[in-house]
Structure 1
Amino acid sequence: MEDSNLPSLVRLSIGGKKFCTTIDTLTRREPDSMLAAVFSSRHTVYQDSEKGYVFVDRDGKHFRHILNWLRDGVVPTLTDSEYSELIREAEYYQLLISHIGLIEGISSVLNKRKEDEKSPAELTHTDVIKCIQSERVKFRGVNLSGLDLSKLDLSFVDFSFACLKNVLFSRANLRCAKFRDVDAVGSNFHNATLRKEDASLIDCSFCGADLRCAHLHADLTDANLEGANLEGANLKGAKLSNANLKGANLRRTYLHHVNLCDTHLEGAKLDGANLLGAIR
């Protein structure tokens, strides 16, 4: 039966699943697709003379998503494996010629999922309050950027690999907290407690942390800052006696009148650091 004789309403049987749509839907959004070719006088198609359905020998599981794309240009929300199946169907129907085809739309969704999986999970100030009521708290890899965590008891909390940009830790209790490889650019540790009463123990660890432009006006006695990036940080008034700053980046760091007595600075980079009045 010739296309030109088909009514505007089309009944389709996709692998046995029944669908009803219009020629306009099948041809308008993707004019160069296989479906558009079939239903726009460029092909001869055959119908079941008794039931009036045009048969297509494909799995009908995802054809409703194909139709919805043709109707509205919307990419459905599916699992990764279902997206793989839908891409195969989209390739068969050649839905990839329009300005933003279905396959390109699915690829964008999958790429965003991968980016979201890599991004640190975000917690709010309230979430933190709830969490620290537990005995053992870990915020490894979470995103706490911009939060005000001042005056909180965050002792023994593991912040390793977390995103702590511009976090306010002023007067917080950070005894024995772990900040290994954190991104703490611009954070404020003004008057934070970072060590136990037992000064012989190395307590707070910032090993490998990014503390560029951070404000560390705190007692960092015995703290582990090995390999930390402190470029441009403000350490005015900080106590760094016996702190481990081996290999740390202290370029342009403000160390005015800082107590560096017994501080381990082997391999540290001090180019442009302000050491005026520092005690060494």
Structure 2
Amino acid sequence: MCATDCSSVVRLNIGGKKFCTTVDTLTQREPDSMLSAMFSGRHTVSQDSNNGYVFVDRDGKHFRHILNWLRDGVVPTLKDSEYSELLREAEYYQLLGLIAGIGDVLNNKRKENEELDTELTRTDIIKCIQSEKVRFRGLNLSGLDLSKLDLSYVDFSYACLKSVFFSRANLQCAKFRDVDAEGSIFHNASLRECEFTGANLRGALLAGANLQSANLQDACLVDCSFCGADLRSAHLQTADLTNANLEGANLEGANLKGAKLSKANLKGANLQRAYLRQVNLRDAQSMEGAKLNGANMMGAIR
């Protein structure tokens, strides 16, 4: 199918769920998305000859929300756990506007609740970081909005950082040893040389983050998103990256010895000169386009 008529009907089969929309809907609101690229007329899209549906191998659970966003530009009202699922789909389809919209919704929810469960407020944090050698070891900072702050060299070790919003913060050389940061957002944050040894980052969003030389040994990185993240020379030994999304991430020179990559997405990842000894690459969901030049793969399963 060559889509040239913007009003033409498109039939989609998303993981077995069927949808009907138009080329106009798929291309106008998010012109840089994967869906726009598919149906802009620049590419030929294969249809099932029997029913005319275009098949996309993704879970169709949240695709109606994707379509409604493209139609109306409104982020749906969902349970907190469902926002993380929708976020993964938005990342897959490269819907940058929806990703930002979900981030705003989660940020507003955190602001509403930050006084209820935390020991400090954002204002308290700002006052504290004006002094040297700041330490928040073992504190409960869950749900705080700490975005865009300069938190370099701050010690958060053993703290509860669930659902903290660190987007675009400067966290260079900060310590997160054994923290519980499940569901936190580090989107586009600077995390160079940070220590996350033993940390729980399950479901965290680290898309676009700078993690050069960061130490993530033994960390729980299940369901994390590292899309486009810079992980050059990062330490990921025995880290659990089950179901993590590393699409387009730069892992050049990273050490992944013994890391778990079950169902991880490494599509287009740069693994040049990475240390991959004892890593089971067969478990990865996708290695399409991954660069492995010069990687140490002794004992790795391919």
User: What TM-score comes out, normalization by structure 2 length?
Assistant: 0.48
In 1: Cα distance, 2:105 partner to 2:244 partner: 31
Quote the Cα distance in structure 2 between the aligned partners of 1:193 and 1:240: 11
Q: Give, in whole Å, the separation in 2 of the partners of 1:215 and 1:113.
A: 26
In the TM superposition, what whole-angstrom CA distance separates every residue of 1:221-258 from its partner, at most 9, and x where no partner exists?
A: 11111110000000011001110011100000011111
Q: Is the 8 A contact 1:123 1:143 kept in 2?
A: no
Aligned counterpart in structure 2 of residue 191 of structure 1, from 195, 210, 213: 213
Matching residue within 109, 114, 138 for 2:160: 138
Which residue is 1:278 aligned to? 295
Percent of aligned pairs sharing the same letter: 27
Q: Does the aligned pair in 1 maintain the 2:158–2:177 contact within 8 Å?
A: no
Q: CA, structure 1 residues 133+231, in 2 after alignment: closer, same or farther (shift >3 Å)?
A: same
Distance 1:260 1:171, change over 3 A: same
Deviation at 1:180, TM superposition (A): 0.6
Name the CA distance, whole Å, in 1 between partners of 2:238 and 2:263: 16
Name the counterpart of 1:27. none
Deviation at 1:123, TM superposition (A): 5.2
CA distance in 1, matches of 2:177, 2:190: 15
Q: Does the 8 A contact of 2:246 with 2:269 survive in 1?
A: yes
The CA RMSD measured in Å over matched residues stands at: 2.8
Q: What's the counterpart of residue 250 of structure 2?
A: 234
- Correspondence 1:258 to 2:258: no
Per the TM alignment, residue 275 of structure 1 is displaced from its structure 2 partner at its CA by 1.3
Asked if the contact 1:123/1:142 (under 8 Å) is kept, the reply is no
**Cα distance change of structure 1 residues 260 and 123 upon mapping to structure 2, 3 Å threshold:** farther
- Of 223, 227, 239, the match for 1:223: 239
Q: CA deviation at 1:188?
A: 1.4
Moved more, 220-229 or 129-138: 129-138
Question: Structure 1 residue 116: deviation in Å?
Answer: 2.9
Q: CA deviation at 1:113?
A: 9.3
Alpha-carbon separation, structure 1, partners of 2:180 and 2:105:
27
Could you tell me how far apart the structure 1 residues matched to 2:106 and 2:246 are? Answer: 31
**Take 1:148 and 1:114, find their aligned partners in 2: how far apart are those partners?**
20
Contact 2:265 2:284 in 1 (8 A): no
* C-alpha displacement of 1:130: 5.1
Match of 2:198 among 176, 184, 198: 176
The equivalent residue for 2:109 is 117
Answer whether contact 1:149 1:168 (CA < 8 A) is retained.
yes
> How has the CA–CA distance of structure 1 residues 158 and 212 changed in structure 2, closer, same or farther, with 3 Å as cutoff?
same
1:57-96 residue pairs with structure 2 within 5 A?
none
SS of corresponding position for 1:131: coil
1:198-242 deviation per Cα after TM superposition (whole angstroms, max 9, x unaligned): xxxxx2111110100111121111111111000000001100111
- CA displacement, residues 31-83 of structure 1 (integer Å, 9 cap, x when unaligned): xxxxxxxxxxxxxxxxxxxxxxxxxxxxxxxxxxxxxxxxxxxxxxxxxxxxx
For 1:114 and 1:211, locate their aligned partners in 2 and report how far apart those are by CA, in whole Å: 19
Q: Quick one: which of 190, 205, 209 aligns to 2:224?
A: 209
User: TM-score of the superposition, structure 1-length normalised?
Assistant: 0.52
Deviations 1:131-151, CA, capped at 9 Å, x for gaps: 336474111112110111111
Would the aligned equivalents of 2:178 and 2:198 in 1 still touch at CA under 8 Å?
A: yes
Aligned residues: 162
Distance in structure 2 (CA, Å) of the matches to 1:114 and 1:153? 24
The answer to whether the 8 Å contact 1:138/1:157 transfers is: yes
Q: CA deviation at 1:264?
A: 2.5
Paired letter, 2:136: C
- Structure label with greater radius of gyration: 1
The alpha-carbon deviation at position 118 of structure 1 amounts to 7.0
Instruction: Tell me if the contact between 2:270 and 2:291 (Cα under 8 Å) persists in the aligned partners.
Output: yes
Tell me how far apart the structure 1 counterparts of residues 182 and 285 of structure 2 sit (CA, whole Å).
22
**Matched AA of 1:205:** C
